[in-house]
Amino acid sequence: MAAKTMGKNKLGEAFEQKVVKRVVGISCINFPVKNVDISAQWYAEHLGCRLVREPIRTADGANAIIQLGENGPNVFLHEEAERTPLHFTRNGAPASLFELKTDDIESFYAQLKAEGVQVGERYDNAPCSKYFDVVDPDGNTITIAEWF
């Protein structure tokens, strides 16, 4: 179906000209966290995120900004009293809303385990990716993937 709609002068081309060019990337992702200081440090230390802006506290609340990967989007960490999970339940188990990409899953997995980070089992799902799940300080399940 994709090949059919992406052919010359078909739906795909019209869609690309009128819609896709309006979105050029992700500007920012917002994560609710219990403690912005702990979360900012955890994402930087364990996942290698770049701390774009140190945690600050204002009358409106506390927040920090991290960057996912070298060219990834910025993530606003917002300190919130109410826990809002960043995952959903599939077949009785937490499933992440997004996957973070790595280029060496075996080394990354071993490193996180050595650091005492809560990680799930390593598994492969050919032809897609090699995977494992990690749990952040707020109990959110995040999937780490390396493409085949």
For residue 1, pLDDT beyond 60: no
Instruction: Write down the pLDDT at residue 2.
Output: 58
**pTM score, whole prediction:** 0.81
Written in H, E and C, the secondary structure of 74-125 is EEEEEECCCCCCCEEEECCEEEECCEEECCCHHHHHHHHHHCCCCECCCEEE
Where does the pLDDT of residue 138 fall: very low under 50, low under 70, confident under 90, or very high at 90 and above? Answer: very high
Which pLDDT tens digit goes with each residue over 26-81?
889 999 999 999 999 999 999 999 999 999 999 999 999 999 988 889 999 999 99
Is the separation of the CB atoms in 26 and 67 below 8 Å? no
CA distance linking residue 78 with residue 66, whole number of Å: 11
Residue-level pLDDT at 85: 87
Task: Give all domains of the chain, ordered by start, each with its CATH number.
Answer: 28-83 (3.10.180.10), 85-148 (3.10.180.10)
